[in-house]
């Protein structure tokens, strides 16, 4: 199973959600700004890297966890990714796309725009981190829902049918 947390630029909400999922950040307490800014990908992915998946680690059930930026066309990109994976023979129960941007508030968006689009990192990065602190409970809920979906998928019997050899 592969889990892809996505947001606009794979720099803020998806990075924090993936860190919660893999246990790098606690789901029980809101981390200080310095811990958020210390995450390896937090506010560090360039616009040229949008669309590239970054491996973050493994979740509690052994699932691979990634972050990816879908840019402004997330609905179209989600369809394209699902379609391409289907063409490659990867069933939709083998991956999970989780929209972490759904949790972002105006402060995360303003901080991210200042830092990533306008290059005002010293101003934008701390603003984005403060915004993440404000929405952290929503991110932990999102991760809990994703982990529950993974548990549900793992507990379902396989749809694969074994045919006898002839």
| Residue 19 buriedness (CB in 10 A; 0-12 / 13-18 / 19+) | buried
User: Do the domain assignments include residue 92?
Assistant: yes
pTM of the model: 0.90
User: Do the domain assignments include residue 84?
Assistant: yes
User: Do the domain assignments include residue 161?
Assistant: no
Please list the pLDDT of the chain residue by residue as tens digits (166 residues): 999 999 999 999 999 999 999 999 999 999 999 999 999 999 999 889 999 999 999 999 999 999 999 998 888 888 988 899 889 898 888 999 999 999 999 999 999 999 999 999 999 999 999 999 999 999 999 999 999 999 999 887 655 444 444 4
Number of domains in the chain: 1
User: Do the domain assignments include residue 13?
Assistant: yes
User: Do the domain assignments include residue 107?
Assistant: yes
User: Do the domain assignments include residue 78?
Assistant: yes
User: Do the domain assignments include residue 49?
Assistant: yes
User: Do the domain assignments include residue 45?
Assistant: yes
3-class state of residue 144 by DSSP: helix
């Amino acid at each position: 199973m592969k889990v892809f947390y996505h947001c606009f630029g794979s720099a803020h909400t998806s990075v924090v959600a993936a860190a919660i999922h893999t246990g790098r950040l606690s789901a029980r307490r809101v981390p200080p700004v310095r811990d958020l800014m210390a995450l390896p990908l937090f506010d560090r992915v360039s616009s040229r890297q949008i669309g590239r998946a970054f491996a973050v680690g493994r979740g509690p059930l052994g699932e691979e966890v990634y972050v990816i930026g879908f840019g402004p066309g997330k609905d179209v990109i989600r369809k394209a990714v699902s379609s391409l994976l289907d063409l490659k023979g990867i069933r939709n129960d083998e991956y999970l796309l989780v929209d972490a941007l759904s949790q972002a508030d105006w402060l995360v968006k303003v901080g991210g725009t200042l830092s990533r689009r306008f290059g005002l990192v010293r101003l934008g990065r701390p603003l984005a981190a403060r915004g993440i602190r404000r929405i952290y409970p929503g991110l932990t809920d999102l991760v809990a829902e994703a982990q529950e979906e993974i548990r549900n998928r793992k507990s379902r019997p396989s749809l694969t049918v074994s045919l006898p050899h002839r």
